[in-house]
Structure 1
Amino acid sequence: MSSPPWDYIAKLVCIGDSGCGKSSLTIRLCEGRFSPQHDVTIGVEFGSRIVPVGPPYSKSPTPPTEGGLPEPPRVDKTPQKHMKLSLWDTAGQETYKSVTRSYFRGASGALLVFDITRKATFDHVTDWLNDLRAIADPDIVVILVGNKLDQAQTSENKREVTQQEAEEWTRRNGVLQYVETSAKSGENVEEAFMRVAERIFENINAGKYDLNDRRSGVKGPGPRGGNGARLSVSEKPVGQTGGCC
């Protein structure tokens, strides 16, 4: 029996106002495509992706020696770990807010998304963060994502929120990082999700989760050859091309 293609499963939620591109970010990561037309999310939608975490994938490049030459390559026998991101794309409409809050429980990571071309969506991220922290685990990993970067890179430049504003908010509110993305072009989408995955992996190594308790938002692989051993089309590891991912 083969072992599962992942070492851990982590639950991530995408939260923020309606129309910010949460569903488009999830589809871009899981299926490698962008759909200009997408139905409004009602309740929650799901996706998943398997990504490498920890070294050797995340190992920093070898610094140069005093003479300016890089160190000779070293053989790294560290087995690569993989994490399956279980993505919960929540509805942003106020009508569904009482429902979507319930999905915050048991999440180990969150992407707090706003639209950089709509200032009102940025004004609401504090409320979303307060709701999340009131319900989720205190150690939940949160990053702020400013989506629709492509619309700020044209001659029209529809940006209404500066990078400096968002980074200052991130520092004030104890959020891990600010990343600007474009679900349309794919720019920085993997970086945003991978940053959360890497911090969760660091927390696993620090012993912050009970991997046998589903409420922790992270769990280890099931029995060898169990249900976790199947790799669906939408779960190719990062770096593979072709298919939907």
Structure 2
Amino acid sequence: MAYNGEEVQSQDYLFKIVLIGDSAVGKSNLLARFARDEFYSNSKSTIGVEFQTQKMDIDGKEVKAQIWDTAGQERFRAVTSAYYRGAVGALVVYDISRRPTFDSIGRWLNELHTHSDMNVVTILVGNKKDLEDCREVSTAEGQALAEAQGLFFMETSALDSSNVAAAFETVVKEIYDILSRKVFRSQEVKKKEASLGSGRTLILEDDSIDNEGPGKAVCCSS
């Protein structure tokens, strides 16, 4: 089953997730740490779009997260906006040591909502928590913004791996839970529809159509 409309054969579910945020906030290293447990201290800015895939097991189901790393530079934004389509999850990343990257979050969220096809499970990620001595954005500020926007929130460090897997897994697990609830509701509706068409007796308590006195039940078989 593919939640983003793509055909899936080898895995049970395929979720498209995007990484967005200003340039040099560490998006590529977050992905590298999660997908390959690697970190590049001299990584270059992403040009255009790159993606990695990662498999996870949730409730005995194999889930494949297809994670797209979008370029943060302004000149690439017109090109990468098409890649939001079909995304069901997003990590919106800022650098805790650079306040301007935090101030840009509202703009990134607007772009995500503009180009996405559906409601996207989103987590606000304050990256580079290892740079505590250079911190310009407090944890409380990040939490407050996330609460105001209805987002999950986590501070991470791609350098020392802190909360990296947890951030991605939070998004994937929430997407899975939402999909599971939708499937369950759909099955319940089908059960009710089948029940209504099964020929059961419908009992109407209506004095106005009772010819034998008040409170008499009139039975109508379908």
Equivalent of 1:187 in 154, 162, 169:
162
Measure, in 1, the Cα distance between the counterparts of 2:123 and 2:162.
16
Q: Equivalent of 1:114, from 94, 97, 101?
A: 94
Higher helix share: 2
Counterparts of 1:26-45 in structure 2 under 5 Å? 26-45=31-50
Moved over 2 A (4+): 3-6
Provide the rounded CA distance (Å) in 1 between the counterparts of 2:78 and 2:10.
35
- Aligned-partner residue type, residue 98 of structure 1: A
In the TM superposition, what is the alpha-carbon distance from 1:5 to its structure 2 partner? 5.7
From 75, 78, 83, the equivalent of 1:95 is: 75
Aligned pair partner of 2:129 in 136, 139, 149: 149
User: What's the offset of the Cα at 1:4?
Assistant: 6.1
Is residue 164 from structure 1 mapped to residue 140 from structure 2 by the alignment? yes
2:201 corresponds in structure 1 to none
Q: Give me the identity figure in percent.
A: 42
Q: What CA distance in whole angstroms lies between the structure 2 residues aligned with 1:17 and 1:82?
A: 32
1:127 and 2:103 correspond:
no
| SS in structure 2 at match of 1:143 | strand
- Could you tell me how far apart the structure 1 residues matched to 2:181 and 2:84 are? 23
User: 3-state SS of the aligned residue for 1:10?
Assistant: strand
Q: Assess, with a 3 A threshold, how the Cα gap between structure 1 residues 96 and 202 changes in structure 2: closer, same or farther.
A: same
Pick which of 109-118 and 166-175 moved more: 166-175
* Structure 2: gaps of 5 or more residues: 1-7, 184-222
- For the pair shown, which has the larger CA radius of gyration, 1 or 2? 2
- Structure 1 unaligned blocks of 5 or more: 56-79, 209-245
C-alpha displacement of 1:137 = 2.9
How many residues align structurally? Answer: 176
Q: Structure 2: how far apart are the matches of 1:6 and 1:185?
A: 30
Q: Higher relative contact order at CA 8 Å, sep ≥6: structure 1 or structure 2? A: 1
SS at match of 2:134: coil
Q: Tell me the residue number matched to 1:211.
A: none
The question of 1:50 aligning with 2:55 is answered yes
Equivalent residue in structure 1 for 2:182, among 207, 211, 214: 207
Cα-Cα RMSD: 1.5
Offset of 1:46 from its aligned partner?
1.0
Equivalent residue number for residue 153 of structure 2: 178
Aligned to 2:216: none
Instruction: State the distance in 2 between where 1:120 and 1:51 align.
Output: 34
* 1:137 match: 117
SS state at 1:112 partner: strand
Residue 135 of structure 1 deviates from its aligned partner by: 1.3
2:19 pairs with 1:8: no
Residue type at the aligned position of 2:150:
G
Structure 2: distance between partners of 1:94 and 1:106 = 22
